[in-house]
Amino acid sequence: MNSFVYEKVREALANYGVPDYEISALYNRLSGQYTNPGRFFHTLDHVEFVLKRAELEFEYIKPDEWPLAYLAIAYHDIVYTPGDILNEERSANFAVSELQDFLPVSDLEHVAQAILATDHGRPFVGDSLCAVVADADLSSLAKPWREFCADRKKIKLEFKDFSEKEFKQGTVAFFKKLLGKPRIFRLPTAFKKYENLARHNMACTIAELESKGVCDFVCQYCARVAIAKVGDPIECEKCGFDMFATLTNTHK
């Protein structure tokens, strides 16, 4: 059991008068999904991370919407098949099926909409609650470089049925789609905290996956140039960032 996730789910459901025994049953089913053997990144630890990041942005939603945010995050990856474009839709349907006896229809629809907003490959549709949930989910892209790379390794383990080439191509395509957006994060505070570093991490990853050998990198923050083997974590001596963002040359 993840006690943090459990407490947030309990808090949200208690707000609707759901008895403890029903909360325990709901959480046990939820926990069972996230602890399937094939999961390495999309686990309860990820849910905990997203919950904590979302709470930092609760100023953008009303207190009576906090339970909806907790529930949307708790269920946002409840159905996860690597590479399946219907994961978010199926997760939203799963949440509605589980919660329909306890929440009013309007709140169920709001939870489902917030879950669908975590489909980051599609244009964002939603309100402030959806933005809180979606931005918190994406904020893992703005972890320090070493943690970001550790997450990538976990995700790769989930794609064990895909070839190395397929996984690389999929990663690059997804990151390029995000980088092509005018902004990744919708909320002003999330944009300020995460936008640059998320772009930095994704640009580095694309450079790593699309190139070979020893390369020149330039830090987007202070323009210091360094030579390094692609994928090696380097801390910029001038500004302190962990990696260099823009590939400028590849030595064959």
Pair (141, 33) in one structural domain: yes
Q: Give the pLDDT of residue 167.
A: 95
pLDDT tens per residue, range 75-129: 999 999 999 999 999 999 999 999 999 999 999 999 999 999 999 988 899 999 9
Asked whether residue 78 falls in the same domain as residue 9, the answer is: yes
Same domain, 73 and 30: yes
Those residues with Cβ within 8 angstroms of residue 180's Cβ, 6 or more apart along the chain or in another chain: none
Q: Does residue 249 share a domain with residue 140?
A: no
Band of pLDDT at residue 250, cut at 50, 70 and 90: very low
- Whether residues 190 and 226 fall in one domain: no
Mark whether 192 and 222 lie in a shared domain. Answer: no
* Structural domain for 23, as ranges: 1-210
Question: How many domains does the chain contain in total?
Answer: 2
**Tokens of residue 190, six digits:** 């999330």
Check whether residue 127 and residue 238 sit in a common domain.
no
Q: Say if residue 201 is in the same domain as residue 228.
A: no
Is the domain of 71 the same as that of 164?
A: yes
- CA dihedral (112, 133, 202, 164) in degrees, to 10, reads -40
- pLDDT of residue 143 exceeding 70, the answer is yes
CATH at 183: 1.10.1300.10
pLDDT tens, position by position, 176-223: 999 999 999 999 999 999 998 888 888 878 877 876 443 445 554 444
Average pLDDT, the chain: 87
44 to 13, 94, 102, 180: CA distances (angstroms):
18, 17, 23, 30
Residues 108 and 125 occupy one common structural domain = yes
Q: Three-state SS for 248? A: strand
Confidence of residue 247 (pLDDT cuts 50, 70, 90): very low
What pTM did the predictor assign? 0.85
